[in-house]
Amino acid sequence: MAKKVTLKHIAEDSGLSVSTVSRALARTGKISSENEKKIFESAQRLNYPLSVVDTPWELRETVNIAIVTHFYTGEFFSSLFYGFDAATKNTKATVRLMSVANASSSAIEIISGLKSANFDAAVVFLPDFKEQDYHDLLEAIPDNFPLVSAAPIVSPVLDTVTFDHYRGGYLVATHFEEQGFKKVGIIKGPSAKSEALLRKNGFWDYVAGSNTLSAVWDYKGDYSLESGIKAFEDYQKAAVKPEAIFCSNDDVAIGFMHSAVRNGVRIPEDVAIASFDDLPKCEYYTPSITSVNSPYTRLGEKVIELILDRLKEEGTTRQSGYTSLVPVSLSVRESSLKPTNGTSDRH
């Protein structure tokens, strides 16, 4: 039978007192980081049974991070999780996707219980959360449990890493102007979602400052394929039709384009289309879709970097509401390229 390892063995191996070893393993009292590291390394070397939660993160083989979201089927959430998973390469981090969509407990209850479930930190992607929800969450989570949000809100409560949604809308309007379009429109996202508002504002702000672009049509969508279809019906009734339309996301664009093709409206000859998210289907749809590229792996890298920094600070829950923006770019494809012969029959 293997000899049972005691605190005395660790004390002898590390050259420190039994009381110091006891305080270090229990994570109580003030102990220098040098001595703490020496004690935990000795405990691991001697095969002392350590709690994963109580082991300093820098001495663990993995750091467990939960990505908490309201999961829906579709490419967006697959791309989001794939990006975070790819971002763990060459780090100690591992990510686990947790959906609160069909849970019997509230999102706040689920997140507040993550530490006891051996998670070290959490990424919150809950675009429906309001400012008070985040305050309630901070009250509920245990001490020393880092949280980062990946969803923007108007008045951030958690430290947030998100895409530059405003810049994305701005880039689309710039592209439309460079292509020589003059009359433009937009299918907006849900007004309650901050990123939809930012995309719309970036687009309209550029249009308002342009000497050649004019806003002639808009439609309130909700990010769904169905709202893209309904937007096309509204577009058909418009007295003045836009030459180019910015769709708030890829699903809306596909819904609009599908209806357009079925009704004999040519893209981009009759109306040009650009959207947001640049999901894989944009490249393979016909015509291929111009879309704002949001680099999910880069988002994951920035979030994981922030979490590891928090863990170095002993897992502080300190929040400043600081927002870090991940740059976006525009993937230009067939749907927004103005025909070069100049003979399109625009409405």
Report pLDDT digits (tens) over 10-63. 888 888 888 887 877 776 667 777 887 777 778 777 777 766 556 665 666 788
Taken in order of first residue, the domains within the chain and their CATH numbers are: 7-59 (1.10.260), 63-163+296-327 (3.40.50.2300), 165-294+331-336 (3.40.50.2300)
* Per-residue pLDDT, 343: 47
The span from the first CA to the last CA of the chain, in angstroms, equals 86
* 139-148 pLDDT, tens digit each: 998 878 899 9
Residue 60: which H helix or E strand, with range? none
Q: How far apart are CA 270 and CA 253, in angstroms?
A: 15
For residues 98 and 188, give the distance between their C-alpha atoms in angstroms, rounded to a whole number.
29
Q: Inform me whether the pLDDT recorded for 344 exceeds 80.
A: no
pLDDT (tens digit, 9 = 90+) per residue, 164-192?
999 999 999 999 999 999 999 999 999 88
- Tokens at residue 298, please? 């880069």
Rounded distance between C-alpha atoms, residue 279 and residue 266, angstroms: 22
Are 275 and 253 a contacting pair, CB within 8 Å? yes
Q: Has this prediction a pTM greater than 0.85?
A: no
